[in-house]
Amino acid sequence: MPPRRSARAPPKVPTPPPAATPTPPPAAKAASGKPPLSKARIAAAGAFAGLKPADILKRAKDLGMVTTENVTKTVTHLISTQTAVDDDAPAVRRAVGYSVPIVSVDWLEACEKDDEWVDEAPYVITKGAAPAPAAAPASKGKGKAANGTAGTKRAAANGTAGTKRAASPAPDVKPAAKKAKKADAKADVKTEVKDEAKPEANGHGQKLKKKDTVVPVDDGCRLIGATVHIGDDGTIWDASLNQTNASNNNNKFYRIQVLKLPGGKFTAWTRWGRVGEPGANAQLGGGDVASAIFNFEKKFKDKSGLNWANRLDAAKKGKYTFVERSYEDDSDDEAEAGEGEAEVKEEEEYVPPECTLSQPVQELMQLIFNQQYLQATMASLNYDANKLPLGKLSKSTITRGFQALKDLGELIDDPTLAQSKYDTNFAAASEHLSNSFYSLIPHAFGRNRPPVINTDAMLKREIELLESLGDMKEAAAIMKAERPRDTIHVLDRHYNALGMNEMTPLEHDSKEFKVLSQYLVDTRGATHNVNYEVEEVFRIERQGETKRFDESVFSSIKSDRRLLWHGSRATNFGGILSQGLRIAPPEAPVSGYMFGKGIYLADMSSKSANYCCSYITGGTALLLLCEAELGDPIQKLTNASYTAGEDAKRQGMYSTFGQGRTAPLKWKDAGEATPALKGIKMPDTSKVKPGDTNVDGAYLMYNEFIVYDVSQVKLRYLLRVKM
């Protein structure tokens, strides 16, 4: 049951304050009671105009501030950029996890000007806010106390050391004055899901939004010293084109770049061939930049049928499709490399840092952030990571992929659209739409003919691919933050990037462990033929989920809270734990979801375990136990309904109960496991095992529970299971 990602709606830009008043005289500053600059501990991350993070840290040092390469619990300020915050850069995530204020470089400049600690509140950067002018910052985000953060520490769970942070507020992108009302909370979450479709700003449409971004030269290019040309207006002269044609067994790529060569000459570099193979290449142009750009635009028009200026328009039938790439990771690499060079002393011998995590948490991080498993997952789904690596896959490309599948889903549901909408027959229309999807999302079929997507089963497989790519992209971004001579152990770095409030392994002889393990074992479906060995049970809490629920409408409705299962590939958990369970975006085909777009949960563990694909990760599966507020009453259905979500809301209900033929027959208060679960229901299998429900007309073999708002779910436990 792979989920989707959501993003907060950007706040309204507040009105800039009046012009700054004159700086008070020195005597007044001395009496201000502000902390000395030596108390500030500064980190910097992002791509700054004309500056590197190392330059900023040097200026902070010159003021007497303490500087550090990494964002840790002792950092008082992270100096960053609006783009880095909007893009959820790894350093930004760590800052949010530690409740460290994120400020613009204008704050440092103000400290330099006044030669004292300046109030950071006017300089705080929040997601979606408009950039503030230096003299009068427009974004007064919710500031956090400089040292009022809690870091990673050992937490006991029935005597076992774990990893836990003190509760801290959820990352809030809204101005402090705009506190959400409970009645509005549900609408806010809906907006989060819809806004997920917005592409990241940097390089959108091959237009540079950040300076100092590194654009990689085509992998097949052997021209020493060549660099990709970026125009004065920020245009990135780099085009990746794909074309798939199932009938002709075509699965081709075409790469075009304007390259600047040593000595000042320019060329239009082209390389083409079958996806997965090196292909052929050529250079075009007379050596000057105008000639190279002319040949680039001509070749782009020849292959795509579009003018370069209209590259984001819909792809032309029978032509190549333009695939937008992301360059964010390369920019981060450069910034972090420069930062590291400034921090490491040449004479000092490097001593690898020790890991502070408990052994079970260490092993969990090794499972989730495993490059071999990521590659195996992509290969199993036929995704061509060589053509478009996770780090280069843009959110807008995933969104366009969902839209292509949505068109396919509508055609599969209503074959008459082939004639009325596409003016052809079903076979030709489904092949055309399949070709469009494969051209956007590169697949590796070798020399085999690309299959035409013309059934619900094939459609769901491709939906799973896109959902997994979204989650694995998050894991890859976290892993990308690793660097040599790090002062934080790599596993600590991975854990910190997740932003968890708690991840505590339970004692195996504790009642909490035993009750939850019994729930797992006793709810195996006879048709699933699985056996479990429980390796670990982690009590978990995602930052902000409790606050999100408390501020939502669901905290005040008639309650029916249950402890239910959710399964997904282990490689998806970097995204799930850092971003939460998500709902499919508007572009996703509704036909891919039996009861509409929502978060799918189960009361039979093996129902969820089937989605874990443990064969890829050495027989190890990860299963979540989620607290879900279903509401009372709940919509009960015995057959699939793609409009279940809308139907439930129209009736004043908040979730759907897809009734199965086999299910737990009795429920109990989960407080039996631990007082923290009091008031939540879980199956009572101590005396009565799951059996026949006797529900008339039940189509499903097992129950499914679907909620339609992310605020209805809190992650409570993560089970590591050998299957």
Domains of the chain listed by start with CATH number: 26-149 (3.40.50.10190), 215-322 (no CATH), 490-722 (3.90.228.10)
Taking CA atoms, 618 is separated from 370, 467, 534, 569, 570, in Å, by 12, 22, 15, 12, 11
Known active-site residue 704? yes
The pLDDT-based confidence of 279 (bands split at 50, 70, 90) is confident
User: Among residues of the chain, what percentage have pLDDT more than 90?
Assistant: 42
Q: What is the per-residue pLDDT across 389-398, written as a single tens digit (0 to 9) for each?
A: 777 788 888 8
Residue identified by tokens 């975006």 is 585
Tell me 185's DSSP state.
Answer: H
Q: How far is CA 339 from CA 21, 56, 59, 530, in A?
A: 35, 10, 13, 49
Contacts of 134 (CB under 8 A, 6+ apart): 106, 109
Q: What is the torsional sign of CA 296, 297, 303, 308?
A: positive
**Cα–Cα dist 223/257, whole Å:** 12
- What span, in angstroms and rounded, lies between the C-alpha atoms of 80 and 44? 6
Neighbours of 179 (CB within 10 A): 11
Of residues 106, 142, 112, the one with CA closest to residue 23: 112
Phi (first) and psi of residue 623, to 5 degrees: -125, 140
Q: Closest Cα partner for 644 from 553, 707, 585?
A: 707
Within 253-327, residue ranges assigned H as helices are 289-304
Residue 548: is its pLDDT beyond 80?
yes
pTM over 0.95: no
- Four-CA torsion 441, 447, 449, 450, nearest 10 degrees: -10
Catalytic residue among 120, 339, 464, 704: 704
The predicted-structure confidence for 503-541, as pLDDT tens digits, reads as follows: 999 999 999 999 999 999 999 998 988 999 999 999 999
- Tell me, what's the pLDDT at 5? 38
Residue range 626-642: mean pLDDT, rounded: 95
Mean pLDDT to the nearest integer, 482-489: 74
Q: With a cut of 80, say whether residue 149 has pLDDT above it.
A: no
The proportion of the chain whose per-residue pLDDT surpasses 70, expressed as a percent, equals: 80
Average pLDDT, rounded, for the chain: 80
pLDDT in tens, 399-438: 889 999 999 999 998 999 999 998 999 999 999 899 889 8
pLDDT at residue 206 in the model: 62
Q: Strand 635-637 to strand 667-669: parallel, antiparallel, or no bridges (unpaired)? A: unpaired
- Of 174-188, 256-270, 546-560, 706-720, the poorest mean pLDDT is in 174-188
For residue 715, give the 3-state DSSP assignment.
strand
- Residue 126 pLDDT more than 50? yes
Rounded to a whole number of angstroms, the CA Rg of the chain reads 27
524, 604 in Cβ contact below 8 A? yes
Q: How many CB atoms lie within 10 A of CB 73?
A: 17
For residue 29, pLDDT beyond 50: no
pLDDT at 669 over 90: yes
Rounded to whole angstroms, how far apart are CA atoms 392 and 433? 24
Enumerate residues 6+ apart whose C-beta is below 8 A from 171: 96, 127, 499, 543, 544
**In b/e form, how buried is each residue of 37-49, taking b as 16+ CB within 10 angstroms?**
beebbbbbbbbbe
Find the range with the poorest average confidence among 116-130, 256-270, 646-660: 116-130
**In sequence order, which residues have a C-beta less than 8 Å from that of residue 468 and are 6 or more positions away?**
2, 377, 381, 569, 571, 572
